[in-house]
Amino acid sequence: MKRTATILLSLLLFTTYCSKPGSEINDVISTSASSVPAVSEAEKVEEPQEQVDPTESISRSRTNAITNAVEKASPAIVSITVTELQTGYTRSQDPFFSFFFSRPVQREVQSMGSGFIISEDGLVVTNEHVASESAKTIKVSLANGEVHDAELLGSDELADLALLKIKGDKNDFPYIKFANSEEVMVGEWAIAMGNPFGLFADGQPSVTVGVVSATKRDFRPDPEEPRLYMDMIQTDASINRGNSGGPLVNSEGEVIGVNTFIFTGGTSNGFVGLGFAIPSDRVQKIINQLKESGSVSLAFDPGMEFTPMTRQLVYQYGLNPIPGLLVTTVNKDGPAYECGIMPGDIIIRIGEERVSSEMHAWALMREFEEGEKMVIQLHRDGKEYEAEMTLRKSVAGR
């Protein structure tokens, strides 16, 4: 009986112990689990990393916005070789005869410049002083080594631009696009591309890099010539002989201007950090007219005709010897008559620029559009006055 009570008591105690939460058994299990040592960060197995080739890394670092722009634009850059006939004079073999007379002779002269293709069918833009109407033959060399004959579609001396067309039926030429020159920022990258000193022989254009130094620069480099450069883009990208007609490219590989001339500061040492390009907006305006008609015309009719002042006119009509343009006729239905201009008036200024020749006057008038107002300073009867002309009506031939 005593043994039976002992067994019953033992079973009761076992059941009570096992049913308690947080019992020693659970503590043992917990203690055993916590006794397993944790894996340290150093002992964790790291996944294998991809090995980078140092050469490939360096190659990637060499690629930038400028190299991308050059790669994009290079196929459309061309070298232009022009052959012209120039007339000279030579002495006769007879000493007595040659003392009084010399005979004219003609010889072929080659010159080189740069340009760029603007369409798949082979339209090429360059400077007029590179390819003009006096050209006998024009050859265009591409970066891929191809050489093609080209013809002159039109040229404009005042704007110093010419439009060429590569001969043949090929319609898959690489070409370059124009950017909006009004959006050009001073300080942004500027890349000059072309054929300086005829170094294009290996098929690759030369590339020089600088920044846009300034915009809207106005120049008349030679007072004896009618060319007038307005709103020019200034750059310190090196431009040398042979770069004329090549593009000034932005970091997106688009044309912002046509490289045209450099300023040497009165020295003969070549480039000194001042190069100038015709802005792309003006270029497109001129070449669109050259493509359509082969010439450039005013967008309005001034309604008058004029001629340069000469000594003969001064003596013949008793005029004041004032440099300018003598108004010869005025159309009664034109804007010149409406603003008070009369025959016999002498045009002194157009806008803010003093007029020096008839061609110079037409170049100045090109800066105005139909609907605008143009101020003209005139001389009449010993006095000067201004006339404000409202421009209207398009006229062909200028």
Annotated active-site residue in 74, 79, 114, 129 = 129
Q: Which of 367, 308, 300, 363 is nearest to 157 (CA)?
A: 363
Coil, helix or strand at residue 133: coil
SS3 48: coil
Q: Residues 6 or more apart from 40 whose CB is under 8 A from it? A: none
102 flagged as catalytic? no
Q: How does DSSP classify residue 285?
A: H
Distance CA(24)–CA(28), nearest Å, equals 6
Let me know if 129 is a catalytic residue. Answer: yes
d(Cα 223, Cα 298) in Å, to the nearest integer?
22
Query: Nearest CA to 377 among 346, 398, 338?
Result: 346
Catalytic option among 156, 160, 236, 301: 160
What is the 3-class SS of 50-100, one letter each residue? CCCCHHHHHHHHHCCHHHHHHHHHHHHEEEEEEEEEEEEEEECCCHHHHHH
Contact 150, 167 (CB under 8 A): yes
> What gap in Å lies between CA 338 and CA 387, rounded to an integer?
10
Catalytic residue among 74, 141, 213, 244: 244
Question: Going by C-beta distance under 8 Å and a sequence separation of 6 or more, which residues neighbour residue 345?
Answer: 326, 327, 378, 379, 380
Q: Is 360 a catalytic residue?
A: no
Active site residues: 129, 160, 244
